[in-house]
């Protein structure tokens, strides 16, 4: 049994984001694979998804609902999780087979090389795999003494990247950023539709636009940014995100 986990809190991403993720996982795995969702509200989530509460974490109020909350996934023990577990954010589209993400560099922390910090040793935690329990200090340290960590690091994925020595990046073509790698450069984004490379398995939609917005050709932005924030309707998103 392969295990994939995700998190949902607050109201930005509804249960449909979890359900679409679940259906995509089932389409894009040949082995038996389950999805475990850690959430503060399981209403409307597919009954085949395992629902678990989000563990507590000692964070300042202004960071409690930010990606720093993802550090709870490094807690051990954590429900029934064991072995190599794959974490996926909700703001992504699965476009290729995921089984190889479990076979690649087993027993190590595997993560996307952050698209905007190439060569700086920083992972992007939209998609990462880790051996449960091996790095539980990631959670324990910030739970027990958060101030030095929060003073040293502005973003949780930088803290993780700098604290784990045994980190390896996924093959470059496996994980793409919709904005940073697939969007045609300005001004061609007004004329060309973003293309999906054949070997891509994960497309992350960090920030805006979200998956549904990009599929329809909508990029929410202030009027004065519309001169460059534009995306043409992108049909392949709907094909994979359903």
Q: Tell me: the pLDDT tens digits for 159-209?
A: 999 999 999 999 999 999 999 999 999 999 999 999 999 999 999 999 999
Q: 151: Cβ–Cβ under 8 A, 6 or more apart, which residues?
A: none
Rounded alpha-carbon distances, angstroms, from residue 64 to 12, 67, 87: 15, 8, 19
| 71-89 per-position pLDDT tens digit | 999 999 999 999 999 999 9
What confidence tier does 94 reach under pLDDT thresholds 50, 70, 90? Answer: very high
What confidence tier does 32 reach under pLDDT thresholds 50, 70, 90? Answer: very high
Query: Among 135, 129, 138, which Cα is nearest to 71's?
Result: 138
Q: Does pLDDT of 107 surpass 90?
A: yes
Tokens of 28: 């894009």
Q: Are strands 109-113 and 123-131 parallel, antiparallel or unpaired?
A: antiparallel
Distance of CA 205 to the CA centre of its chain: 9
The helix/strand/coil state of 22 is helix
Has domain 2-169 been given CATH number 2.40.50.840? no
Mean pLDDT of 142-155: 94
Q: Are strands 202-204 and 33-39 parallel, antiparallel or unpaired?
A: unpaired
Per-residue DSSP letter, 187: T
Which is more confident, 75 or 63?
75
Supply the mean pLDDT for the chain: 96
Predicted local confidence at residue 64, as pLDDT: 84
Cα separation, 84 vs 94, in Å, equals 19
Cα separation, 73 vs 56, in Å, equals 10
Query: Among 210, 213, 229, 232, which Cα is nearest to 221's?
Result: 229
Cα separation, 132 vs 134, in Å, equals 6
Domains of the chain by residue range: 2-169, 181-240
Task: Label residue 54 exposed, middle or buried (CB < 10 Å: 0-12, 13-18, 19+).
Answer: middle
Q: Does pLDDT of 124 surpass 90?
A: yes
Angle at 214 between CA 213 and CA 218, to 5 degrees: 60
Predicted local confidence at residue 133, as pLDDT: 96
Mean pLDDT of 37-45: 97
Predicted local confidence at residue 119, as pLDDT: 97
Predicted local confidence at residue 65, as pLDDT: 87
């Amino acid at each position: 049994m392969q295990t994939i986990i995700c998190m949902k809190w607050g109201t930005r991403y509804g249960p449909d984001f979890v359900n679409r993720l679940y259906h995509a996982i089932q389409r894009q795995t040949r082995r038996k694979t389950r999805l475990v969702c850690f959430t503060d509200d399981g209403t409307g989530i597919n009954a085949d998804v395992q629902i678990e509460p989000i563990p507590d974490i000692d964070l300042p109020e202004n960071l409690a609902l930010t990606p720093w909350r993802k550090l709870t996934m490094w807690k051990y023990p954590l429900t029934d999780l064991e072995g190599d577990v794959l974490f996926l954010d909700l703001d992504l589209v699965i476009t290729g087979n995921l089984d190889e993400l479990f076979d690649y560099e087993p027993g190590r922390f595997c993560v996307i090389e952050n698209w905007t910090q190439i060569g700086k040793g920083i992972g992007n935690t939209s998609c990462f795999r880790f051996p449960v329990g091996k790095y539980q200090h990631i959670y324990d340290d910030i739970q027990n003494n958060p101030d030095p960590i929060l003073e040293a690091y502005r973003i949780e994925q930088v803290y993780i990247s700098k604290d784990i020595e045994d980190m390896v990046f996924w093959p470059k073509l496996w994980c793409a950023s919709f904005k940073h790698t697939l969007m045609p450069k300005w001004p061609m984004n007004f004329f060309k539709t973003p293309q999906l490379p054949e070997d891509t398995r994960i497309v992350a939609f960090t920030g805006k636009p979200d998956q549904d917005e990009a599929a329809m050709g909508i990029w929410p932005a202030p009027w004065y940014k519309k001169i460059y924030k534009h995306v043409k309707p992108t049909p392949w998103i709907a094909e994979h995100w359903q």
